[in-house]
Amino acid sequence: MTELPPNLTPTMRPGGPRPPFRAVPLRLLIPNLVTLLALCLGLTAIRFAFEGAIEWAVSAIAAAAVLDGLDGRIARALKGTSRFGAELDSLADFVDFGVAPGVVLYVAGLDAMKSLGWLTVLVFAIACALRLARFNVTLEDPSMAAWRNHFFVGMPAPAGAIVGMLPVYLRLLLTDASNPPHFVAVEIAYVLVVALLMASRVPHFSGKSIGRVPQAYVAPVLIGLAAALLLIVNFPLQSLVALSIAYLAAIPWSVRRYLAMARHNG
């Protein structure tokens, strides 16, 4: 029997069995931890909704949307992207931006329409699932033109959650307003439109296409971001209403820009 060199253990024998576990670099774990934190916020939003703390539930979903925008950028910055992370992100997004907003919408007012309100929540969650599934398939399409990376196909799930809860923000701001049935019917129609936008192929601008800021604009951009952050902290509901309306208003511009680039690139 051939003896092994003193610095070579049996598990290190050439052609021998591999160790049962391999080390995972820390740079792969950090983005996944951010994703799991966002998932915890989405689940906590559901708890807040059941406890009647609707404003806290909205805040938790908004914070999850911020983390969702960061985890991918952190992964790319650390070169820690992985198939596992992409799948985990999709599962967390479905809970954070499909299930949690639906529960908040139902508890905050759609429950007045009983089964019709719940059916609306189901359609919203299904549209979010379809949107995420299509996004995953698009990532694996090598034939997609480079210019199309500037756009999302359908409303992104985080945007769908924030924009879809616009009726909730208005309810919280108009606390003394009555709750007539026709107002709930308008809410249902609005949520269904947002669900349709998520499941549709309407192009939306992608924030991932934003590159570096020119040096001459660094100071104005920093001032603008600081002002926006202060507004969101001091007037969260009003800021969410403004963001939702601004996003909806930008959709026609996104479509127009997409068609122009499609004609230019053949």
What pLDDT digit, counting tens, does each position of 187-217 carry? 999 999 999 999 998 988 886 656 566 777 6
Q: For 14-18, 26-30, 61-65, 199-203, which range has the lowest pLDDT when averaged over its residues?
A: 14-18
> Between 207 and 229, where is the model more confident?
229
Supply the pLDDT for residue 135.
Answer: 85
Q: pLDDT at residue 78 above 90?
A: no
Distance CA 209, CA 9 (A): 50
Sequence-ordered list of residues with C-beta below 8 angstroms from that of 57, at least 6 positions apart, any chain: 45, 46, 48, 49, 100, 104
Q: pLDDT at residue 59 above 80?
A: yes
The band of 150, judged by pLDDT with boundaries at 50, 70 and 90, is confident
Supply the pLDDT for residue 227.
Answer: 83
Supply the pLDDT for residue 48.
Answer: 96
Q: What percent of the chain has pLDDT over 70?
A: 80
State the chain's mean pLDDT as an integer.
83
Q: Report H helices in the chain.
A: 26-50, 54-77, 83-94, 100-108, 115-139, 157-164, 166-173, 181-199, 218-234, 236-264
- Per the rule left: phi > 0, alpha: psi between -120 and 50, beta: everything else, 202 is beta
Tell me the pTM: 0.84
- Domains belonging to the chain, first-starting first, are 25-208 (1.20.120.1760)
> Between 78 and 47, where is the model more confident?
47
DSSP 140-184: T-TTS-GGGGGEEES--HHHHHHHHTHHHHHHHH-TT----HHHH
Q: Which two tokens stand for residue 143?
A: 């034939």
Q: pLDDT at residue 167 above 70?
A: yes
Q: Which two tokens stand for residue 135?
A: 């996004």
Sequence-ordered list of residues with C-beta below 8 angstroms from that of 225, at least 6 positions apart, any chain: none
Phi and psi angles of residue 152, each rounded to the nearest 5 degrees, phi first? -95, 145
